[in-house]
Copies of this chain bind each other. A is one copy, B any other.
């Protein structure tokens, strides 16, 4: 079969990668913040792991379509909630980061899954302890009119998936 579509898809992935990175920045998150989370997760297992390795794997994760689509959808919902464009009861659930909502974790899981089930643990850990950028994002999300219900889970999931990707590459 022709490789034509394949090439087109690849270009499309790069375009979407750029959009995801830009959206994350607009919401206050830089890739280096996510790489720091990944580094924190893997350093106990791989003491020689460097920041550049972590960043490279974060970028690799965001090149995945499943990740791009989940991230774009979650960030969009956060933004729509802030703009008052969601109907009730969805609007209130998102603006209050309702603990039983669950769809944020569902999207996060779809992201983590990209490098397999070993990432669940890292995601849960980071989501509960809220280190670095996750804690900042979570705190800002509690301000009036702000909504980070999906954002913190998406970031945590990308960091956890990158940690899995590293583990798959270097672990014994």
Contacts and interface: CB of A to CB of B under 8 A. Distances in A.
A77 interface: yes
A102 B106 contact: no
Given A100-B168, A124-B121, A125-B129, A16 B77 contact: no
A46 B76 contact: no
Given A6-B170, A76-B86, A125-B129, A99 B117 contact: no
Contacts of A108: 120
Contacts of A170: 1, 5-6, 9
A140 to B, nearest CB: 20
Contacts of A114: 116
A73 interface: yes
B105 A120 contact: yes
A66 B116 contact: yes
Given A102-B117, A110-B116, 19 more contacts: A1-B46, A1-B49, A5-B170, A66-B116, A70-B103, A76-B87, A77-B77, A100-B168, A103-B107, A105-B118, A106-B107, A109-B120, A113-B113, A120-B127, A121-B127, A124-B124, A124-B127, A124-B128, A125-B129
Nearest first, the 10 closest Cβ-Cβ pairs linking A and B are A124-B124, A105-B117, A125-B128, A66-B116, A102-B117, A106-B110, A121-B127, A121-B124, A5-B170, A106-B117
18 contacts: A1-B48, A1-B170, A5-B170, A5-B172, A9-B168, A66-B102, A72-B90, A73-B90, A100-B167, A100-B171, A103-B107, A106-B110, A109-B120, A113-B113, A120-B127, A121-B124, A124-B124, A125-B128
